[in-house]
Each structure stands twice: as C-alpha cells, then as structure tokens.
Amino acid sequence: MARKLDNKIALVTGATSGIGLATAQRFAAEGAHVYLTGRREAELDAAVASIREVGGKATGLRVDSTKLDELDSLYKQIGEAHGRLDVLFANAGGGSMLALGDITEAHYDETFDRNVKAVLFTVQKALPLLADGASVILTGSTAGSSGTAAFSVYSASKAAVRAFARSWILDLKSRRIRVNTISPGATRTPGLLDLAGDDAAQRQGLADYLAAQIPLARLGEATEIASAALFLASDDASFVNGAELFVDGGQQQI
C-alpha cells in the first residue's frame, strides 16, 4: 500500500522535541525523507536516531532559523542532495510569558525573531527548491486568535504567522504551492510545561488548568498535531489552501 508521502522530500524546522519531532517521525513513517533542524546538537542527533532506528530516512542539520546564513546553508545542502523540497513545515518558534508592564525590548525582539522573522525567511529562502504544487505548513497557535494574560507578544507573533498564509497563497498562486496554518491548542510538550518553571506541582497545575478550558477536557498530544500536519502535507488536502486548522479539542469554538 502506498504511503501518503512516499518519495517526498520534507523539512521540519524545530524538530528536536514536541510537535516538531512527532511530525518528523510521522512524515518519515509515511515515506518521506525528512530533514530535521534544531539548535541543540545532542537532541537533534537523538531525534534523527529515533527515525532511523525504525527504518525511516532522516537527516539532521543544526540550524538557528533566525540566522539567514544558516538557512542558506540548509537549503544548499538539501538542494545538492535532492534538488527539490515537497513539504516544508516551518515549525520552529516559541515564547515566554510577560505581562504588559513587564515587556522588554529584548523579549519583543526574541519572540518576533523566532516566530515571525524566522518563518518569513524559512519560507522565502525555500522558494527556489519548492516543487510546484508543494505544501507549506506554518505553525500558528490558538493564542493568535484569542486573548491570553501575560502572553500578548507571543499572541501577536502568531497572528502575524496566520496573516502570512493569507497573502502568500496569492504570491505563490502561479506555482500551485499551498500554504496553510496549523494552530494547536494546549498540547503536552516540553515547551508548554516549561512555562510553569521546574516545579512539578506548578507544571501539573498548569496542565490541569489548561485542560479545564478545553471541551474534550484534556491536553492535546504531539502525535495528534502531527496527524493534522500529515493531512495538510499530503494530497488528502489538495484543495485546502490558506486555511487555519485548529487542533485544540474545540477550545476556539466556544
């Protein structure tokens, strides 16, 4: 039986843990040769090993997506090895919580560099490699379309990501490249739980609080977000373009 991404070349940025890692593993299981990027060498090596040890095809490259020269090097290597890119999941990003009165210029710059600048140039610099009809997936967030205390800079950065998709589908119309945004809700990942610090009780308290806001009464799992990303990457979503797919247990619907 043919797999959904057989013979495809895919790139997942920010793939050392959480949603990025789960998606890279899923893409590989569906037949893609997956390139994974991350900033931490040991975690990147472990992520690649987790794919290869089950027979998947994976290549890890240490890349900081906010650095344009590193993006250039990344695409040069993909181009020399494969000559094209069929799926791009611009997932790298993150943020921290600060109330309005505590926001600093450094906090703003770091958040927008990671979530906006990096996404913009990750996609722009991929254009020469992207095959006609390729799929580009951007990682948004439910925070981009709802209010969250002490999270306004992150929320604004994810709203910008959503705006990118709306315009880029027009810029890329002639090449039939689809651009969609996947917006996870609260998902059980290291990045989410780290917002509560290192204290186990506080981390559990955050998880319980967030789960109580979700109609399904639980956090999402990274593998569930990966399943949605696979849909957008595959021909199953061939007529889905410019959309925002909420994978949030229904939170944005209430």
Query: Which SS3 state, helix, strand or coil, does residue 136 take?
Result: strand
Distance of CA 92 to the CA centre of its chain: 6
Q: Are 89 and 137 in contact (CB under 8 A)?
A: yes
Residue 75 annotated as catalytic: no
Query: Which SS3 state, helix, strand or coil, does residue 188 take?
Result: strand
Active-site entry in 35, 108, 154, 209: 154
By residue count, the chain amounts to 254
Query: Which SS3 state, helix, strand or coil, does residue 134 take?
Result: strand
* Residue 86 C-beta-side C-alpha neighbours within 13 Å: 18
Comparing CA positions, the residue from 49, 145, 98, 161 lying closest to residue 15 is 49
DSSP symbol at 178: E
Report, as residue numbers or ranges, the catalytic residues.
154
